[in-house]
Amino acid sequence: MNIAFSPCPNDTFVFHAWVHGLVVGAPKLEVTYADIDKTNYWAAERTGPEVMKISYAALPWVLEDYALLPCGGALGRGCGPLLLTAEPSTDPKQLQGATVAVPSERSTAYLLFRLFAAQQVHGGVGQVVVMPFHEIMPAVRDGKVDAGLVIHEARFTYQNYNLHMLVDLGDWWEKDTGHPIPLGAIIAKRSLDKEEVTNWIRASVQEAFKHPNQSAEYVATHAQEMSKAVTEAIFDCM
């Protein structure tokens, strides 16, 4: 079975057991590690693997061909996207006419940004630029864009780039709606047995929490530039 998910710690933690043959009865996986913008695109274009991690905001484009699975995804509180700037400010007016870098226009983060901007940025933002998430903070730091929309891993590292948080969109969403943030969803092609795939993923998640040290090397290998402390902080959001 082929699957695509990001190299971020929350995904590698969830799928470690299945990837390494520790889930009884589950088929061998062929894994593609891909940025969320790519998986969102593949799903919408019907060119993706059988199982994928995508943004909840991308679901309307994919539900004809893919089913939403009830486990393995990312929903939570206190782990939402951030809007960052090079200069300290908490005034949404800073975004009027601004150039803002985003990781995907089909992502939950971008949808939250659009909702926030419609409510708080009178006159609207300027240009929106899509770029890989790991390029966004350097672009804000170097003045290539006025602001950057970053996913929750960056909430633990943006200070290393001397950046400042304009707004925590997760906090804004929770206060505005009272609901947790729907970030990432696991989907499977409708040609598959949904219950069977769900059981394999659930078993992988249970194994991960039962033996967290078992996946440590795999998670660290794919975490790119993340420190151990950042990786552990991400797990606290799960």
Active-site choice (16, 20, 122, 152) = 152
Whether 152 sits among the annotated catalytic residues: the reply is yes
Cβ(149)–Cβ(83) below 8 Å:
yes
Tokens of 102: 């985003």
Terminal Cα distance for the chain, rounded: 26
Per the document, the length of the chain is 238
Cβ(21)–Cβ(4) below 8 Å:
no
Q: For residue 190, count other CB atoms closer than 10 A to its CB.
A: 11
**Residue 75: C-alpha distances to residues 48, 80, 206, 237 (Å):** 23, 9, 17, 9
Q: For residue 170, count other CB atoms closer than 10 A to its CB.
A: 24
Q: Tell me the catalytic residues.
A: 152
